[in-house]
Amino acid sequence: MPSGTRASSARSGTQRIRVRIWKDRYLLLLGLPGLVYFLVYKYAPMFGLYLAFIDFNPFQGILKSEWVGLDQFKRIFEDTEVIRVLWNTLYLSFLQIVFAFPAPILFALMLNEVRNQLYKRLVQSIVYLPHFLSWVVVVGIWIMFFRGEGLVNVFLRETFGWEAIPFMTDPSFFKPMVVTQVIWKEAGWGTIIFLAALAGVNPNLYEAAVIDGASRMRQIWHITLPAIRSTIVIMLILRLGTVLDSGFEQVFLMLNPFNEDTQNVLDTYVFYKGIQQSDYSFATAVGMFKGVVGLVLVMAANQVAKRFGEQGVY
């Protein structure tokens, strides 16, 4: 192609792009805040991952600190405390997947069976409300109910004559209470996606099932659940991507001098190491390790879902 023709083609392509941008300028402006958010809070901080490969010294700065390669990552598997914290994180995430993940699905199925629309909307509004409370408020409510002189212990003492149960200080109650808080706070909000998926189920399928004599449970098992199976799989894949993310704010607020030695998770451990002990490089390495594990789990779960005939995330 002659150089003049190539130049003319390039100019025409540039002109088309400019016309398209101008035509869609309002849509692009609507998307600009989201783009800026991801650039500032998601992509720009990635330059800080360089700290994971150096022995950061605040007096020398990032560029002049000693390069140590993968030494910080080796510490993750050599430090017994990190292994314990990693196990706590995995165990807590496992409990949340087993108990908290199905809660919105079950609640959406129950709401889908309600025929009184006024009652249904009222229940939805009530169960959505905890989502809008901060974890500070949620944990504060929990402390009011379950502390030594809280409402629960007062009720147990006056009704059954029991001694006060140390819900907030006994480490054995820590994980069940964290999972219960997640269910109470997020189960209602999580039903939005599943109710939207249920709204797309063809009602003729239920009518045909009724004619064939299927009970409500049979209809749920053979029609409702298969209809939202792809949505469940996608949400599960996304949840696996955060398997090492136990929620810093909630766990940090639940920790106290009686349980912090045994119930630390990776998020709070990174805070203690990076902020309180100024071990920035090691804390960055742990955070990077979390991200890599989450990426691997998402990719693996996505491939497994595709092998079983599901759509997957990508």
DSSP string, 76-112: HHH-HHHHHHHHHHHHHHHHIIIIITHHHHHHHHHHH
> How much is the pLDDT for 81?
83
Question: What span, in angstroms and rounded, lies between the C-alpha atoms of 291 and 230?
Answer: 25
**154 Cβ contact partners less than 8 Å away, ≥ 6 residues apart:** none
User: What 3-state class would DSSP assign to 65?
Assistant: coil
Please tell me the pTM assigned to this model: 0.81
pLDDT tens column, 168-218: 888 889 999 999 999 999 998 889 889 888 888 888 888 888 888 888 888
Count of residues making up the chain: 314
Instruction: Quote the distance between the C-alpha of residue 3 and its chain's center.
Output: 54
Does the pLDDT value for residue 36 go beyond 90? yes
CATH 1.10.3720.10 maps onto the chain at 72-307
Q: So what's the pLDDT on residue 3?
A: 54
Q: If DSSP codes are grouped into helix, strand and coil, which group holds residue 245?
A: coil
Q: Tokens 């007096």 map to which residue?
A: 59
Q: DSSP readout, 103-171?
A: HHHHHHHHHHT---HHHHHHHHHHHHGGGGS-HHHHHHHHHHHHSTTSHHHHHHHHHH-PPPP-TTT-G
- Report DSSP state, residue 3: H
For the stretch 260-309, pLDDT in tens is 878 888 888 888 888 888 888 888 888 888 888 888 888 888 887 777 67
Max mean pLDDT among 3-7, 76-80, 151-155, 260-264 falls in: 151-155
Cα-Cα-Cα-Cα torsion 82, 88, 89, 92, nearest 10 degrees, comes to: 180
In the CATH scheme, what is the code of domain 72-307?
1.10.3720.10
* pLDDT tens track for 137-167: 999 999 999 988 888 999 888 888 888 888 8
* pLDDT score at 63: 83
pLDDT exceeds 80 at position 228: yes
Residue of 62, 45, 40 whose CA lies nearest to 53: 62
In the prediction, which pLDDT does 106 show? 92
Q: Is the pLDDT at 67 greater than 70, yes or no?
A: yes
End-to-end CA distance of the chain: 38
